[in-house]
Every structure is written in structure tokens, then in C-alpha cells.
Structure 1
């Protein structure tokens, strides 16, 4: 019934970090507007990434790199200084480094985001309210957007924003993916891992940062047996260090545009740094600020070439592991307990005890079977919304309100985040930010990227 429909100026779909940062930026703007954040979890600001409770599950960037305030790079460092000074996170003193170099636990970072939202609320004439539920359908009308939640409730807003965050990976057909996810242990569920035989073999699919968290979880659960890791390229994340500053060579030379040109120059700069006794991560870190420009000006063929041939090495070199977690992985490798192999996952095998999987090792044609006591799926994020088994993405695609983004990474949008529908029309009512715009900017998941997008989108919504 229409009288049961709630109204707001802005509907934010997703109350993890992306949606929370957008809410904060809207609250900071002059004027008075009503904002509803639709999020199934009990708390805003955490999402899946920052709901972790174990201190060993840390950010993969130090405090100086992880501010949620695009106008103050030291915001997290300042907040942590006060938090630690008040007695929070006493374990941080064991690391003997400046606060700006600490890698905070994910749960503490979630608290930081929540407090910034609370502060913005107290200083604003606008209002933010958490509506707990999952959006299962969305209509775009001439003058508004209309959302339907899983409990049947409807919300009407002048604008709606897809701040859905990340979806679990599904690199196999969905029937197999569902079976994999059902058979696998959550990478962050330490309590469930305590029920695994501590001397047994654990299998992990994927070798990125989620795998690193999974190994930390196993260690905290008391597991002391073998860990077998399988990924298509067999690459581990490098450890994140704190290199000195390096000249921004891409700012000085805009003729470097094509992926091969960029790759050659990055390698040259890294060799030059090493020849001077400087960490190779220093020149690589300067590339970060130019990724959006480089990606957007590349042709579709160049983007495809990058994803096919460069992406695994970009991910392992750029998305690095926090030092303490990397030390654990390295120690387990030295002890012979952790082994990584280049192999593609081909499916589950019925097993009366434990779990068994089918693999094809790199360079081989034969498919082999591997067994273990437990399986952890750490294969990353699914960016192709056509493969996301959730009601909202499926309904948006069915209605033609969205179309896949470049290379099926996320969804299509214009530079402001306005969503492009299946007919190529730019929506005046529906917007997106964060991970859904992966295809637009390539790097659209890091805290600093999302913070910048949140500020720009808030300004856009306040003007139209």
C-alpha cells in the first residue's frame, strides 16, 4: 500500500564502508536532506571486510594510507593516536613503530568508520537512518526510485545509489560455485576452524590477500598441519613495506599511455631504484595515482591485454600483505607446512569424509584429485554481475536498468557514477560507487579510491 512506502531524498543500497562514506559526505554538505542506508547487517560502516573480530585480521595498508577523509590523509593516524592513547588496542605497542606505520585490525578500522559517521550526524542538519534489510528489487521512475526489500517493505527516494561493495567470487559455473561455497569454511571463521583436526591437511583455493587472512585464521585456531594452496598462477602477495618517496615519473611524462609502454617504464624505474639501494616498491607506488587515467584512456583491446597478461602480477605486487601476516606465511613455507601450487580448480568430488577437489596443474593436461580435512575458498571477488547469485543484481539486469561494465567488470556508468542502462541511456536517478565501478577505473575498491568517489558523488547529488 502506498501509505506504507517510506520516502527519502537519497537511498543508499549498502551500508558497508562505501555506503557509510557516502553518507558521511552527504551529512557534511550544507542543506537538509533525508538519507536512508539499507544494510542487512546490524551495524553500518563494517560490511564484510570490517566485521572481522580477530586482531590478526589487519588492513593491508598502514594507517597513513587508509584515511576515509579525502581532505585529510592523516585522519586515521590522528584517530588511532587518540584511540590508543585512551587505552584501545594495547597490543599495538608491541610493534615499536610510529602510529602512521601501524596496520590496524579490520574490526578497529570498522569502529573508526562508525565514529566518523556518528560525528558527522551530530554536526549536520541532514539525517541518516539505517534500514535493516536486503534490497531485492528496484524501479526507476520519472521523478523517483522505488526499492523493495526482502521483507516486502518499499522505500521511495529521489536518488538511489548502488554502494553494494564486493560480492564473493564465482569463477566456476554457479551450480559448482554454490557447491564450493557450501563445502568451504569461511576464511575469517576462526571458531569453526578450531573444529578441524589440528594435524590434518587444509586445502585453500586462491592465493591473494583473502588466503593470507585464512592462514592467519588457521594459526589462531591452533591448526598445525599442512596447508596446500592452489591458484592459477601460483603467486603470493608481496609484503607491504614503507619505501621512501620516489619521483612521480608518470606525472612528468604523459606520453606513457599504452600497457606495454607503462610496463617497460615501471620495470626500468624499479631497476633504477634497486641500483640506488632503494626499495623497488617506491617507484611502483607512484603509479597508483594515475591508474584511473591510464585505464580510462586505454582501448578495450589494451584493457583486455592487461587483464589477461599483467593482472596477476599487478595484483601480487600492488595488493600487498601486511607485514605480520606475511611473516607468518613465510615461516610456514620455511617449515614446509605451507605449499603453493599453480593449478586451476575444476570442481568438487563427492567424499565420505573431509573434502576432495579436482585440479589441473599448470602445464599439465590431466586433471588430478586432491583430498583434505577442510577446504577454504579464497578465490577473491566476483566483479561480473551476471554471475552474482543475489536478487538485486539479477533483477537490475533483467529489467535492463544496468549493463555490464568494460570487460564485464562491474556495471557501466558515466564519469560521475550515473548508471548506464541496457540501451545506453544515462540514468538521472540511479548511481553507483566503489567496487561496482571496477570496469570504469580498474582500482575502485581501496579506501582512498572510495573516499574520493564518495565526496564527488555527494557533491553531484546535492546539485541535481
Structure 2
């Protein structure tokens, strides 16, 4: 295997002169999956450095890492939808049922056969991610290597000649110290920022009975320290609150759990026979208003929900109705946000955050049932989970520090034994408290907070950081939760879907391919390709011909567009799909060679037919190749493609018929 688990760099520019290098900061889900994609598709000498500060988060991060989970924590998505590779939807199922080493699994799972609708423990998903990384290393070219480094990234600075230097502190073993690492391209996969610290926590922040982060490396141990009969207050009612209840129950807790949120909204539980579905819905009539004020939007959304419930919702449980509508509305969310004042957008997202989050997704029964069953109780098993809809004003130590007093705005105080913070993570990148991001945003100004939502940072279509001046920061990319505002404004995603497995999987694939294109000497780097032309092959070919210098006469230009479009549709696009679908390097190399030969022949033919110079023809075909590949990757990231499986599992997947608006 071409991997080194530790490493240092005495001269940050020496290795860069010998071999191109991509550095990934963060080895959680996004960083690991991006590394897998780079290993898969790198076609020339490349060193990939995967840098992680917390070993317990490696190959999983907060959601799936071993530090943050136990065997009772389940993915809130079915097994048929969690493949790491969009182009191979059955990949997880094949790995879990035929390849995975189950020796360390609990007996409950050792003899379990996974199907499309199964739930999956997060520990298993983390193992899947780690083993697929090792497989990608083994299958990569001999001159494509992976180095796994330990350390916390302190700073990133441009070198002045197109690269970056990463400064990181390693506190482990013989390599302990501060090191610098040169990078030709840098991908930030730093995951979530620290949890929100509400003002009412200020008196108990350091209190031993306050769990500030339910996903911290020591959180599972702290849950075990909670007394079996103690009363626990959980602030917040989203998925992290459900995870907290699972952690407490797993640790033997059987006392009272109070889940407190201002709106009192809770995730529902999917029916046992639940199947994910994709609806189409009409364009909401309120979007025809001349001005979209918050009042117009709230009234319009309320009315349209009522209309859709009456029109299409018969027999559809509440647990899935809202999320299907919100999925269908993604194109309209994009329009809505683009027409509203940014301040109004932020106000609505803040005011209705809990409502949006809890209605955008329900929970699988193995998660939701743990909470919901304890909210009702049974004969001989009394209710232990209660919800409180109230605003908290203050918290302070009580009874010699052995308890915590919670002061509400409109109800009597409560005295509890423990408090767990489940208010979510900070999304404000202007005030992160994170040294790396503080430097990127404030000191170097390589990045800026997302303009419209002020959630995450501003990025280009492929995750390129947008600097304070509004320009793309060349060579600096990101994947992960820092792109959540962009996911809302660019793709209409809300709630947990701004950083779901599917969303991040798409980001990792697309960003890795873009980084590799930028490092490919055959890609015309001097040309700024518009962000969205690759979404359509017609627009791609129109733009390529319009960019040709000197321009052709109109009649010849029209013929050239037709020629390029026909080649793209009939030859280049199918060949690119074959290349991207290939299961191993040998197959990829074969398809790549065939594609290269066809492109060489096409280049000669186009030059002769349209009296182009060799340079003009090569540039034209190179641009076509780039745009076709971007188009193919874009289509592979389309969620509706999951309905078109060609595998033994295909018959288990259903796709809803389109509904007329």
C-alpha cells in the first residue's frame, strides 16, 4: 500500500518541485471520501496528504467517527442510499454483505444480511469508509501516493507562485512539533465548527455536569458517568437530541429526560414500510408576488402546504409528507432566496430553523422509536422522555454544584442533574473561534461568510473559496458543512440536507475531479469556463464555438456546433461514463486510452473540416472534453439516478411517477 501514517516536511517547497501535491485538511467523512476520489482518478504523479487533528474522528468525523458514536447510533438513512459512489449505488450493500470483516461487530450484526431498506450502525459506515480508502490506495497508480498525517492545522498561506503552505502542529510521537507542508492544491474538509454556546450557558460552561458537545471525543464516557436515575435536560430537539437520548439509554440511564426547545418541534418517525420518494409540485403561486416580504412568504408557504395536502396528500403520513414537499420545492427555494433581501432570508431561517429542520426529515424507527416510545410509556415502563416548549433565560449551579437550576421565561424553574447542549453547531464563519478559519477569513481574506444566508462560506460551483474581494481564491477548495449556505442558495436544500451523506458525497466527487482537472497539463487553464454551461451539452458546445478565436463565419459556426454536439452525445459522453463507472484502475486505463485515441482522431477531423490550426483544434477538443466530463459528473450526482440501478438490488428500488403541476 502506498501510504505512510505519519510524516514531516523539513523543506516545504522541495517535494512540490518533484511531485504535485494535494493537501486535505480533515480526515472525517468529507476529507476521506475526497481522498478516495483523488486516488481513483489521478492519472499522473501525485501525492495526497490527509491531515487530521483528532484520531477518533478519522474516517468518520462527528457523525460517523468512533469517538462520537456507539453501536446503538444508526444512520438516519436506509442502506440502499449510502453508497460512497453515486455511479455504483449497490457498492455499500456489496461491501457489507460480501466483503466486510465482521469479527469486531456485535453478535446482533454479525449474521445480518443488509437490504435496500435496512438501517445501518454508524460504526459500520465508518469501517466501510476506511476500507474503501485502503482499497483506493491499493488500486491507485504506483506514482499516486497517500500520506496520513496527524496534527492540527494552524495556518494556511499562499506562496506567491500558485501554491500554499500549510502550517500544522503535531503533538504525537517522534514527529511532535510545528511543521510546514507545501501544497499545489488545498482542500479544506474541517467539518463542523464548535457547538453553539447560548448566552444562558455562561454560568455553567465549565461545570462538570454540563455536556457542551455530545459528539466530543470524551462524550460517550461522560454519558456513562450520568447516574441511572438522574434527570437530564437536553436543550434543542433536532437529531442531536435524539442521538443524546440514544447515548443515555445505551449507557444505562433510565431517569427523566427533558427535551426543551422554544417551538417544541420534534422529528417524526418514518413508517416501517417507508420508501424515499421524489415528488414534483407546482410552482407555488405566492412566487408571483411583485415583492417577496417575510409576511408574504410565510402566508404563501402555509397556504401552499394546505393545498398540497388536500391535492396530493391523501394517505401520506405526516412523517413523510412535509419532507417530500420540501424536496420538491428545492428549485423554488432557489428562486425565493434570489429575490429576497438577504437580511429577510436570514431572519426567516433563524426564526423557523427548528420548524424547517424537524420537518425536512423524519427519523428511522431505530432512532425515533427510542425517543417516541419513551415519550408515551407502557404498563410497567413509565414515560421518561418529556418535551418542554419554552425559552430558557438562565442556568446556574444549584445545591452545592451537584445540580443545575434552569430559569425559564414563562414557566417555573427546573432543577436537573445534568444539561446536554444540542443546539447545533456554529455556522457563522465571521466569528468561529477556530484559528484556521479566523486566519482564512479575517487575516488572509481568502474566504468570506456566505453572503445571503450568513451560514458557512461563499464558494464557487466546485467548492472554490471566494475571497473578501469577491474573486475566486485559486487552488483553495472546501468540502463539507462550511458549504451549507451555498447548498441552500444554489440547490435549495434546507435542514440536515445541507450536509447529508448525499450532499457531501456529491461535493467530494465534483471537487476532487475539478482539482485533478486543474492539475492536468492538458486542461486549458487560461480559459475561465462559466460555472453552469456544463449542465447542458447544447450550452457547452455553444459556448465553446463562441469562445473560438478568430471566430468562424456564422454558417461554419453553426455546422461546428452541430458537429461538436453530435460527437459529445454519441461518443464523448458515453465514453466518459464508461470511464467514470469503471470499477478498477485497469478498466479506467483502458477506457481512458480508448477515449484519448478517439479524441485525437476527432481533433484531426475537426481541424481539416473547418480549416482550423492544430492549436485551435486541440484547444477546442480539450474544452469539449472538460465540459463533457463535468457534465457527466453533474449527472452522476443527480439523486434521481438512484432509481435506475442495474444491479441485483434494482428491483428493491422504486421511483414515483411524475406528477403534473
Band the TM-score falls in, shorter-chain normalisation: 0.7 to 0.9
Mark the CA change 1:216 to 1:244 in structure 2 (over 3 Å): closer, same or farther. Answer: closer
* Deviation of the 1:133 alpha carbon: 0.6
* Correspondence 1:220 to 2:232: no
194-203 vs 132-141, greater mean Cα deviation: 194-203
Q: Match of 1:303? A: 345
1:388-436 C-alpha deviation (Å, 9 max, x unpaired): 2221122222212221113220111122211111222210121112200
* Deviation of the 1:323 alpha carbon: 0.8
* Deviation of the 1:127 alpha carbon: 1.6
Distance 1:431 1:181 in 2: 38
* Deviation of the 1:36 alpha carbon: 0.7
* Deviation of the 1:153 alpha carbon: 0.6
Distance 1:418 1:239 in 2: 37
Mark the CA change 1:84 to 1:38 in structure 2 (over 3 Å): closer, same or farther. Answer: closer
Q: Match of 2:417? A: 373
163-172 vs 299-308, greater mean Cα deviation: 299-308
Alignment of 1:269-418 (within 5 A): 269-276=308-315, 281=320, 284-285=323-324, 287-288=326-327, 291=330, 294-295=333-334, 298-299=337-338, 300-301=340-341, 303-304=345-346, 306-335=348-377, 336-351=383-398, 352-361=400-409, 364=410, 369-399=413-443, 400-405=445-450, 406-418=452-464
Contact 1:28/1:120, CA 8 A, preserved across alignment:
yes
Alignment of 1:3-152 (within 5 A): 3-5=10-12, 7=16, 9-29=21-41, 30-42=43-55, 44-52=58-66, 53-82=69-98, 88=105, 90-92=107-109, 99-125=115-141, 126-142=144-160, 143-150=162-169, 151-152=177-178
Distance 2:123 2:73 in 1: 8
TM-score for both structures, normalised by structure 2: 0.63
Residue in structure 1 matching 2:265, options 218, 230, 235 = 235
Structure 1 unaligned residues grouped into runs of 5+: none
Distance 2:508 2:186 in 1: 14
Q: Match of 1:179? A: 205
Mark the CA change 1:174 to 1:193 in structure 2 (over 3 Å): closer, same or farther. Answer: closer
Distance 2:509 2:307 in 1: 35
For the residue of structure 2 that corresponds to 1:168, the secondary structure is coil
Answer with 1 or 2: which has the greater Rg: 2
Alignment of 1:412-427 (within 5 A): 412-427=458-473
* Deviation of the 1:456 alpha carbon: 0.9
Residue in structure 1 matching 2:481, options 435, 443, 449 = 435
Mark the CA change 1:294 to 1:226 in structure 2 (over 3 Å): closer, same or farther. Answer: same
Contact 2:64/2:123, CA 8 A, preserved across alignment:
yes
Distance 2:336 2:158 in 1: 31
For the residue of structure 2 that corresponds to 1:169, the secondary structure is coil
Distance 1:37 1:456 in 2: 18
Contact 1:138/1:396, CA 8 A, preserved across alignment:
yes
Contact 1:356/1:369, CA 8 A, preserved across alignment:
no
Mark the CA change 1:2 to 1:458 in structure 2 (over 3 Å): closer, same or farther. Answer: closer
For the residue of structure 2 that corresponds to 1:71, the secondary structure is coil
| The structure with more strand, counted as a fraction of residues | 1
264-273 vs 118-127, greater mean Cα deviation: 264-273
* Deviation of the 1:379 alpha carbon: 1.3
* Deviation of the 1:146 alpha carbon: 1.1
* Deviation of the 1:270 alpha carbon: 4.0
Distance 1:255 1:31 in 2: 52
Mark the CA change 1:256 to 1:102 in structure 2 (over 3 Å): closer, same or farther. Answer: farther
For the residue of structure 2 that corresponds to 1:386, the secondary structure is coil
Contact 2:10/2:179, CA 8 A, preserved across alignment:
no
Distance 1:246 1:390 in 2: 39
1:161-208 C-alpha deviation (Å, 9 max, x unpaired): 111111232242598399168752353634433333211211111111
Contact 1:35/1:128, CA 8 A, preserved across alignment:
yes
* Deviation of the 1:373 alpha carbon: 1.4
Structure 2 unaligned residues grouped into runs of 5+: 1-7, 170-176, 378-382, 489-496, 519-661
1:53-112 C-alpha deviation (Å, 9 max, x unpaired): 5211111111122222122223222222225796655424899x9622222111111111
Q: Match of 1:248? A: 279
For the residue of structure 2 that corresponds to 1:408, the secondary structure is coil
Q: Match of 1:455? A: 509
Distance 1:373 1:332 in 2: 19
Distance 1:431 1:263 in 2: 38
For the residue of structure 1 that corresponds to 2:119, the secondary structure is coil
TM-score for both structures, normalised by structure 1: 0.88
Q: Match of 2:611? A: none
Mark the CA change 1:455 to 1:196 in structure 2 (over 3 Å): closer, same or farther. Answer: closer
Q: Match of 2:589? A: none
Residue in structure 1 matching 2:234, options 180, 185, 204 = 204
183-192 vs 86-95, greater mean Cα deviation: 86-95
